[in-house]
Structure 1
Amino acid sequence: MGPKKSAAEAEAPAGTKRSRPQDSPEASSPRKDILELLDSIDKRLLGFEGRLHLLEVLHQEFQNLRTSLEFSQDQVERLAAENASLRESVSSLEEGMTRIAQDNKILKETVLDLQARSMRDNLVFAGLPEQAGGAENCEETIKNFLQTEMKIPEEKVKNITFHRVHRLGAKRGDSRRPRPIVAKFEHFKQKDLVKSHGRELKGKDFSVNDQFPKEILVRRRVLFPLRKKFIQDGKRAVTSVDKLYVDNKLYKERGVTDWLY
Structure 2
Amino acid sequence: MHAVEVDVMALKQNDGSSTSLSQTSGVNICEKIKAIESRCEDAENRLRRSNLLFFGLPDEPSESWFSSEQKVIQLCSQHLGITLQSSQVERAHRLGRYNSDKCRPIITKFAFFKDKHSIMEMGHKLKGTHFAIHFLGEI
- TM-score relative to the length of structure 2: 0.72
Cα distance, 1:193 vs structure 2: 0.8
Say whether the 8 Å CA contact 1:167–1:179 is kept in structure 2.
yes
- Alignment match of 2:107 (pick from 155, 167, 182): 182
Cα distance, 1:212 vs structure 2: 3.8
Work out whether 1:167 is the aligned partner of 2:97.
Answer: no
Provide the secondary structure at the position in 2 that maps to 1:130. Answer: coil
* RMSD of equivalent CA atoms: 3.0
Provide the secondary structure at the position in 2 that maps to 1:183. Answer: strand
Cα distance, 1:196 vs structure 2: 0.5
Work out whether 1:92 is the aligned partner of 2:17.
Answer: no
Paired positions, count: 130
Cα distance, 1:120 vs structure 2: 2.2
Residues 120/180 of structure 1: CA separation in 2 closer, same or farther (3 Å cut): same
Provide the secondary structure at the position in 1 that maps to 2:98. Answer: coil
Cα distance, 1:107 vs structure 2: 1.0
Cα distance, 1:186 vs structure 2: 1.9
Cα distance, 1:124 vs structure 2: 1.6
Provide the secondary structure at the position in 2 that maps to 1:143. Answer: helix
Q: Which runs of 5+ in 2 are unaligned?
A: none
2:118 matched residue in structure 1: 193
User: Separation in 2 of the partners of 1:126 and 1:185?
Assistant: 16
Cα distance, 1:165 vs structure 2: 1.2
User: Separation in 2 of the partners of 1:135 and 1:190?
Assistant: 23
Work out whether 1:139 is the aligned partner of 2:65.
Answer: no
Provide the secondary structure at the position in 2 that maps to 1:178. Answer: coil
Cα distance, 1:114 vs structure 2: 1.5
Cα distance, 1:174 vs structure 2: 5.2
Q: Which runs of 5+ in 1 are unaligned?
A: 1-73, 215-261
- Alignment match of 2:133 (pick from 208, 225, 235): 208
Report runs of 4+ in structure 1 exceeding 6 Å deviation.
Answer: none
The Cα offsets for residues 204-252 of structure 1, whole Å up to 9 and x where unpaired, read as: 55432233444xxxxxxxxxxxxxxxxxxxxxxxxxxxxxxxxxxxxxx
Q: Which residue identity lines up with residue 92 of structure 2 in the other structure? A: V
Cα distance, 1:86 vs structure 2: 4.1
Q: Percent identity?
A: 25
Name which structure has the greater RCO, CA cutoff 8 Å, separation 6+.
Answer: 2
Cα distance, 1:99 vs structure 2: 0.8
User: Separation in 2 of the partners of 1:118 and 1:208?
Assistant: 18
Q: Which residue identity lines up with residue 83 of structure 2 in the other structure? A: V
